[in-house]
Amino acid sequence: MFGAIIGDIIGSPYERPANNIRTKDFPLFSERSRFTDDTVMTLAVADAFFEIGYSTEELSIRETLIRSMQKFGRRHPNTGYGKHFMKWLTSPWPQPYGSYGNGSAMRVSSVGWLFHDLAKVRQMARLSADVSHNHPEGIKGAEAVASAIFLARTGSSKEEIREYIEVRFKYDLSRTIDDIRPTYTYHLSCMETVPEAITAFLEGEDFEDVLRTAVSLGGDSDTITAIAGSIAEAYYGVPDLLKNECFDYLTDDLIAVLQSFEQAIS
């Protein structure tokens, strides 16, 4: 999950349309860098799956996910949630609300690491989305990202990952970053964020270059870079220097989940 969290922090200064940049030449960290709701929800989902363990009972899995997401979301309320999701976080009876926003895709990275076959990864990604983002596009975005992470960490080539995502999820990955960048604008939907983030991963030459490429697209930079970074981590690993920098931005409760995750996958 370091990839998602580092991507979120690095993309955070550029996430609003007025702050978008269209270059790979920028400081990775600045005084405006911070973790956002992307990091909080990524770690909340991971913490839920630690508790879930090997359970296969879908109602219990959903309940645990909701409980964890509400707990961490309420603990970190001012990190950039959308108004509909904020209402969901604070509701005593939270229900899925048909969202196809990119929140389902940005929070799913732990699923690609914690389960050991692709069918299970897709099932758990679907459940992690379904508790709030139950629109077919919201579920599709989460499944696509978790699948890409699983394939990357289990030795698939970039071309194999590209083919799987195009065939199974019907995302258009034929465009290059140079094709996308000139006309790309601020989008919050899975269908206009996930393919672009995956393309940034496919074109990047190493972990850092993937993050720089994702930020250079503009748009919802923290989420695009979190998604691209989550896949890049599985493919390239994360430099220790960036891992250490990441801890400086997180609170103790978030660090505890991240460290538990690292121990679990090691």
Could you list the residue range(s) of the whole structural domain that residue 254 is in?
2-15+37-265
> Do the domain assignments include residue 30?
no
> Do the domain assignments include residue 154?
yes
Show the tokens assigned to 154.
């289990």
- Are residues 111 and 45 in contact, defined by beta-carbon separation less than 8 angstroms? yes
Query: Which of 13-22, 32-41, 77-86, 117-126 bottoms out in mean pLDDT, i.e. has the lowest?
Result: 13-22
At how many degrees (to 10) do helices 207-216 and 194-203 cross? Answer: 140
How many domains does the chain fold into? 1
pTM (predicted TM-score): 0.97
> Do the domain assignments include residue 22?
no
What is the model's pLDDT at position 265? 86
What SS3 string covers 158-188? HHHHHHHHHHHHCCCCCCCHHHHHHHCCCCC
Q: How many CB atoms lie within 10 A of CB 27?
A: 9
DSSP annotation string for 92-158: SS-------BTHHHHT-HHHHHH-SSHHHHHHHHHHHHHTT--SHHHHHHHHHHHHHHHHHHTT--H
> Do the domain assignments include residue 141?
yes
> Do the domain assignments include residue 32?
no
Show the tokens assigned to 51.
């508790």
For the cut 80, the answer to whether the pLDDT of residue 156 exceeds it is yes
| pLDDT tens digits, one per residue of 67-119 | 999 999 999 999 999 999 999 999 999 999 999 999 999 999 999 999 999 99
Task: Tell me which of 56 and 204 has the higher pLDDT.
Answer: 204
> Do the domain assignments include residue 142?
yes
**CATH value at residue 133:** 1.10.4080.10
For the cut 90, the answer to whether the pLDDT of residue 20 exceeds it is no
Mean pLDDT of 8-19: 91
> Do the domain assignments include residue 20?
no
